[in-house]
């Protein structure tokens, strides 16, 4: 089955700096790669996703890149703000199942 590894497990950044989270996947059939943000005590929320026919996607301060050859994808958050503090999960899906990374706890220091 699909195995998704996510790094780092914790990330502390100064407000205004950038944050980068990296994930690797094992199943070359995976074609959908979403990212979720989960604030404390709340449900995971889809923040951005990318499909295997696209190399990069951007939405305001967040962007995701995908390297199919190397089987890795990354989340980039620019100009971080205190409200970006949360746990971020990457995931990969070959078909009917999402496999999640272990999560990255991002703390934005004011």
Partner 1 sequence: KAGVTQTPRYLIKTRGQQVTLSCSPISGHRSVSWYQQTPGQGLQFLFEYFSETQRNKGNFPGRFSGRQFSNSRSEMNVSTLELGDSALYLCASSQKASSYEQYFGPGTRLTVT
Tokens for 77?
Answer: 């958050």
Instruction: Identify which range of 16-24, 44-52, 55-63, 68-76 contacts partner 1 by CB under 8 A.
Output: 44-52
- Of 4, 85, 91, the residue nearest 39 (C-alpha): 85
The answer to whether residue 101 forms part of the interface with partner 1 (CB under 8 A) is yes
Q: How far is CA 105 from the centre of its chain?
A: 11
Instruction: Identify which range of 56-64, 67-75, 76-84, 98-106 contacts partner 1 by CB under 8 A.
Output: 98-106
Q: Are the C-beta atoms of 17 and 10 separated by less than 8 Å?
A: no
Q: What letter would DSSP give residue 93?
A: B
Q: Which of 12, 14, 45, 67 binds partner 1 (CB under 8 A)?
A: 45
Contact residues toward partner 1 (CB under 8 A) are 31-32, 34, 36, 42-46, 49, 89, 93-103
């Amino acid at each position: 089955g699909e195995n998704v590894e996510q790094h780092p497990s914790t990330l502390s950044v100064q407000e205004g700096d950038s944050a980068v989270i990296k994930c690797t996947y094992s199943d070359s059939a995976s074609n959908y790669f979403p990212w979720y943000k989960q604030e404390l005590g709340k449900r995971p929320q889809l923040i951005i996703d990318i499909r295997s026919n696209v190399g990069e996607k951007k939405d305001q301060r967040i962007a995701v890149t995908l390297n199919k050859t190397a089987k890795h994808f990354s989340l980039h958050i620019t100009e971080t703000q205190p409200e970006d503090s949360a746990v971020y999960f990457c995931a990969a899906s070959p078909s009917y199942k999402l496999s999640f990374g272990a999560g990255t706890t991002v703390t934005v220091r004011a």
